[in-house]
Amino acid sequence: MILFENVTKTYPRTQRPALDDVSLEITRGEFVFVVGTSGSGKSTLLQLVMKEQDVTAGRILVAGRELGLLADRKVPALRREIGFVFQDFRLLPNKTVHQNVAYALQVLGASRARIRQTVPETLELVGLGGMGKRLPHQLSGGEQQRVAIARAFVNRPPILLADEPTGNLDPDTSLEIVKLLERINHTGTTVVMATHDTATVNAMQKRVIRLDRGLLVADVETGDYTTGSIPRVVLEPAQPDDLPDPLQAEALDAVEAYEEEEGELPPIGRDADAPIARPERFPLFRRRQPERSTTH
């Protein structure tokens, strides 16, 4: 669902990369914490998935699209597959809860009937049933974040990214919000949450990817914030027969996207001596099963 291959991101006029040779794979339906101190590269990682930033080196696949080959006009379609939740909620202050959530569907051209049905259902799901008429300032911080999550999830995106969604909330409310993200994850949506909220991460015992000054320093299947002695995710070439179905679908989508941009892939064997137009695109890589880590 999300694949980073040796991704480096260096912002203009900076010395050190914000992300440094990061490789990782997040498969469909996973719930993943991305942790690390301030400035470790968490937001950069999420922004790259949204294609709000472009890589300096390496490549990224998201929902079958290779982002480096994605034309600008296709970026909105990518973003429709991704819900995003921010630390500071970013609700429209003079719109009701219902209107804030409905807006996300209106911009996608949803019918009024669909909006009338889906918005209350989603508000119910996030625990705000009956609060549709309130304005954001009439809600607590936790409730406002629930509205933001409803807005991000109302069109049922396959991926939900959350950047420090509990950063403005007290510990109990934070846990409730993460439990809500877990509930959304159980509907099949892949959830990636960047945070430095140690207590919440420890309480959930999910997969934890830890960044330190742009380097991926740990990736554990279930663990605490500080768990992990695994130095770096290692990607190894996947055999075609070995690929799970979603990855095969991603590979096919990637070929389709490539062909739309660049024209048909040359048949095997033809122009064997010609320069390869698209080196290193295949094979796809997959995450090697990490060894169990030790807790320190």
Ligand X SMILES: Nc1ncnc2c1ncn2[C@@H]1O[C@H](COP(=O)(O)OP(=O)(O)OP(=O)(O)O)[C@@H](O)[C@H]1O
* Distance, CA of 94 to CA of 132 (rounded, Å): 13
Taking CB under 6 A as the binding criterion, the range among 32-40, 61-69, 199-207, 258-266 that sits at the site for ligand X is: 32-40
DSSP calls for 21-37: EEEEEE-TT-EEEEE-S
165 makes contact with ligand X (CB under 6 A): no
| Residues 184-213 as x/- pattern, contact with ligand X by CB under 6 A | ------------x-----------------
Residue 270 C-beta: closest distance to ligand X, Å: 44
Residue 11 C-beta: closest distance to ligand X, Å: 3
Number of residues lying near ligand X (CB under 6 A): 12
Taking CB under 6 A as the binding criterion, the range among 40-48, 121-129, 148-156, 260-268 that sits at the site for ligand X is: 40-48
Is the CB of 42 or the CB of 207 nearer to ligand X? 42
136 makes contact with ligand X (CB under 6 A): no
Beta bridge partners of 62: 2, 65
* Distance, CA of 189 to CA of 212 (rounded, Å): 27
Q: How many contiguous H segments (helices) and E segments (strands) does the chain have?
A: 8, 12
Helix (H, G, I), strand (E, B) or coil at 159: strand
Helix (H, G, I), strand (E, B) or coil at 86: coil
CA atoms within 13 A on the CB side of 254: 23
Helix (H, G, I), strand (E, B) or coil at 65: strand
Among 29, 39, 120, 283, binds ligand X (CB under 6 A): 39
40 makes contact with ligand X (CB under 6 A): yes
Interacting residues with ligand X (CB under 6 A): 11, 14, 18, 36, 38-44, 196
